[in-house]
Structure 1
Amino acid sequence: MTVLRVSASPAAPADERPVQRVICLCAQWCVVCGQYRPQFEALAGQFPGVEFRWVDVEDEEEAMGDYDVETFPTLLIAEGDEPRFLGPVLPQPGLVGTLLKRLMHEGVHAADAHAAELLARIVRSHS
């Protein structure tokens, strides 16, 4: 299993609020993902209480199910079991940070119908 979990100390006990997750879907062979990974890890330090995961889609085929990542990196952002965003992003920490802040404050939901199923499979495969 090739998963990197980077998370800071939660601001409140886990049983008081849903887990916020940022899951980066990547591939070992992807040069852009390799360059983005250190930035993704640094971004995790800016969001205490948010769980960051790095998931290699080829190593986690069962968790990916029928979902096919077409563009790397792709982020899956969720609060508890509710996906807020699923889609490709420019590998720029500033843009991703802004996206995270908006999603956390505005409660936007993902438009992709596969997001909830994908989230559930990834969480189960790494529990």
Structure 2
Amino acid sequence: MTPAEPIPASSATAAISVVCLCAGWCTTCQAYGTTFAQLARDWPQVRFAWIDIEEHSDALGDAALDIENFPTVMVLRGARPLFFGTILPHAGTLARLVQSAVEGGATQAVDADGQALAAPVAALLAQGVGGVGTGAAA
């Protein structure tokens, strides 16, 4: 489920993107939407996007099939993944990841699945999928 409220648009050329890879049926994702939307308002210089992995399974490819736990988050600088993994659905957890990315830090080594998923996620963002800058799903 997408965050309920529109998120203020940030620059379409923001270097950092934070993507929640979710599933429409996931109640944890539905509950996390409000938290995600609030963080997007707190970080207007960062792109936030909400991508349903089932709705966009063709574009995401086989790497998306390995996502079994939610919320799964990808943090990108351009098309380069800085973080990929399941996180606790708490604002503080994601805020620390965003802070690290904004400060120029790599937040963790990204595994092969995350590396494989980065290009299709970046391509979807470039197409405006996931409500880049608005938090609403497309």
TM-score, length-normalised on structure 1?
0.82
Distance 2:27 2:7 in 1: 21
Q: Which has the higher contact order (CA 8 A, sep 6+)?
A: 2
Are residues 1:9 and 2:7 paired?
Answer: no
- The equivalent residue for 1:87 is 85
**Which one of 24, 29, 36 corresponds to residue 28 of structure 1?**
24
Residues 83, 116 of structure 1: 8 Å contact kept? yes
Secondary structure of the structure 1 residue equivalent to 2:89: coil
Are residues 1:58 and 2:59 paired?
Answer: no
- The equivalent residue for 1:121 is 120
Q: CA deviation at 1:124?
A: 1.8
- The equivalent residue for 2:37 is 41
User: 4+ residue stretches of structure 1 with deviation over 4 A?
Assistant: 2-7
Number of equivalenced pairs: 121
Distance 1:26 1:53 in 2: 10
Q: 1:120 to 1:20 in 2, by over 3 A?
A: same
TM-score, length-normalised on structure 2?
0.76
Distance 2:114 2:8 in 1: 22
Residues 78, 122 of structure 2: 8 Å contact kept? no
Give unmatched runs, 5+ long, in structure 2: 128-138
Distance 1:119 1:35 in 2: 25
CA distances 1:59-118 after superposition (whole Å, capped 9, x unpaired) = 010122111211101000011121000000011011110121123324215321232331
> Cα RMSD (Å) of the superposition?
2.4
Give unmatched runs, 5+ long, in structure 1: none
**Which one of 71, 74, 94 corresponds to residue 72 of structure 2?**
74
Matched letter for residue 110 of structure 2: A
Distance 2:52 2:76 in 1: 18
Q: CA deviation at 1:122?
A: 2.0
CA distances 1:26-63 after superposition (whole Å, capped 9, x unpaired) = 11111110001011011101112211010111101012
Secondary structure of the structure 2 residue equivalent to 1:114: helix
